[in-house]
Structure 1
Amino acid sequence: MVAMTEDPSTRTVGGFDRAGRTWVLALFGVGGVAVGAILPPLARWAAELPWVPFEGPIRLLGSFDDAWLVWGRPVLGLAAGLAFAAWVVVSSAVLEIGPGQIQVRRRGQVERVIERGTVAAVYPRGAKVVIETESGRKVLEDDVEGDKAAIRGAFVDQGYPWEGPLK
C-alpha cells in the first residue's frame, strides 16, 4: 500500500457520506422488496403474452407462489437489494488530492496514484471526473460521489488545471 505523506492540505472527496449511504441502502432495499413481491405475478402475466420470448423460464419464475414464498420473496429481494447497495457504496471511488499526487481509493485501499506532473487537465463529464495527461491519455475516468463544487474546489485549491463549469 502506498502511503501519502500526512500533508494538512490534502483534501479527500468522493465516497458516500452517512446520509448518502442510508439513502442508497434504503433505495436498493425497497427496490429489492418490490421486485421480490411483484416478480411472480408479473412473470405469470408476461408468460401469457404471445410475443414475449423465453416463455419457459418466465413460467418458472411465475410458479414461485408457495405460501412461504409470499413473504420469503420480499425478504430475499431485500437481502439482494441490500447486498447490491453495499457493493455500490464500498466500490465508490474516494480521491485524496494533495499538492504532489492524487490517490484513488476503493474499498479502503489505494487503487492508483497519479503524480501531479502527469496531470494536464481535470474536468467533469456527467457524474464522472476525468484526469488526462498532456498527450490526452485518460489516467482516471470514474464516478466520484459528492458535492460537485467541493470536488472542483479540492482540485483547484491544490493547483490542478480544472477545465469545466465554475460551479
Structure 2
Amino acid sequence: MVRDPASATLLAWAGFPLLGAGAGWLVRLLAEWVVSWPWAPFQGPAELIASLPEPALTVGALVVGALAGIVVAGIGQWESLVVTVDTERIRLARKGSTSEFTAGTVHAGCLDGKYLVLLGHDGAELAREPAGLDRERLTGALREHGHQWLDEDPYLAEFRLWVPDTPGLPAGANALLAARQKHVGKIDGDSSGRELRDELAKLGVVVRDRKKQQYWRLVRQADS
C-alpha cells in the first residue's frame, strides 16, 4: 500500500490543530484591538467576542481553533490518494470512493506532474488522480507486483491546446469541452468536471489541464 508518509500524516494531525489554536488566539487579540478602535470594521462580532469572560474567552478561542485544525487535517486525509497494489489488481482509494483495475486492463502507470495516471492498452487513460505520493515508492510497488511503470506519459507530445470549435474532434466533444472549461482549476474536487471527463473518454478523447487550459488527444492503439 502506498500512501502519504507517516511523518506527513503525523505532522498534519499535530500541526494543523496547533496552527488552529494559534489562529484562535490571534482572533481573540484582534477582537480586543477592533473594539479599542471605533472606526475599525466588524465592531459587532468583535464586541461579542471581547464581551466573553476570562478564562472562557481564551480557552474557547484555543479549543475552537484546535478543533478547526483537526477538521482541516481530516479533510486532507480524506482527500489523499491511497494506492493498493498486488499482482492481480491496482486499487485507488480517495474521498471515500474506490476504483479497481485488473492487471490485464492496465498497460502502465506513470506520473504526470502531480497526477498518477494509469494507461490502458489502447492508450486511453483509465485513471488520473492527484497524488502527492513518493515516485520511488509508487515505482517500486507497481514493478514489484509485475506492473509496468513509465518515467513519463508516452502520449504527452500528442496533447493539443483546446479552443472552441477545434476541428478533428469526435461529434459532441467540443460541446463537452466547452462545458468542462468552467470547471478547469477545480477538477480535483468537482464531480461535474469528472463526469465530463468520463463522457469525453467514452468518445475516445483524453484531456489534461494546465494553467486553467484544457489539452486533448485522441485515443490510439498503444505501442506494444
Report the TM-score when normalising by structure 1: 0.67
Equivalenced residues, count: 143
Cα 1:113/1:71, change in 2 over 3 Å = same
Detail structure 1 runs of 4+ shifted over 6 Å in the superposition. none
Bigger shift: residues 148-157 or 84-93 = 84-93
Cα 1:122/1:48, change in 2 over 3 Å = farther
What are structure 1's unaligned runs of at least 5 residues?
A: 1-11, 50-54
RMSD after superposition: 3.1
- Out of 88, 94, 100, the position equivalent to 1:113 is 100
The match for 2:115 is 128
Residue 20 (structure 2) pairs with residue 14 (structure 1): no
Higher relative contact order (CA 8 A, sep 6+): 1
Q: CA deviation at 1:101?
A: 1.4
**Contact 1:132/1:140, CA 8 A, preserved across alignment:** no
The match for 2:46 is 62
**Contact 1:39/1:62, CA 8 A, preserved across alignment:** no
Work out the percentage of aligned pairs sharing the same amino acid: 20
What are structure 2's unaligned runs of at least 5 residues?
A: 153-224
- Out of 63, 82, 87, the position equivalent to 1:94 is 82
Matching residue's letter, 2:71: A
**Contact 1:41/1:62, CA 8 A, preserved across alignment:** no
Cα 1:100/1:41, change in 2 over 3 Å = same
Deviations 1:67-96 (A, max 9, x none): 322221111100121132133224422211
Provide the secondary structure at the position in 1 that maps to 2:2: strand
Bigger shift: residues 72-81 or 122-131 = 122-131
Matching residue's letter, 1:62: A
Cα 1:70/1:101, change in 2 over 3 Å = same
Report the TM-score when normalising by structure 2: 0.52
* Structure with larger Rg: 2
Matching residue's letter, 2:142: F
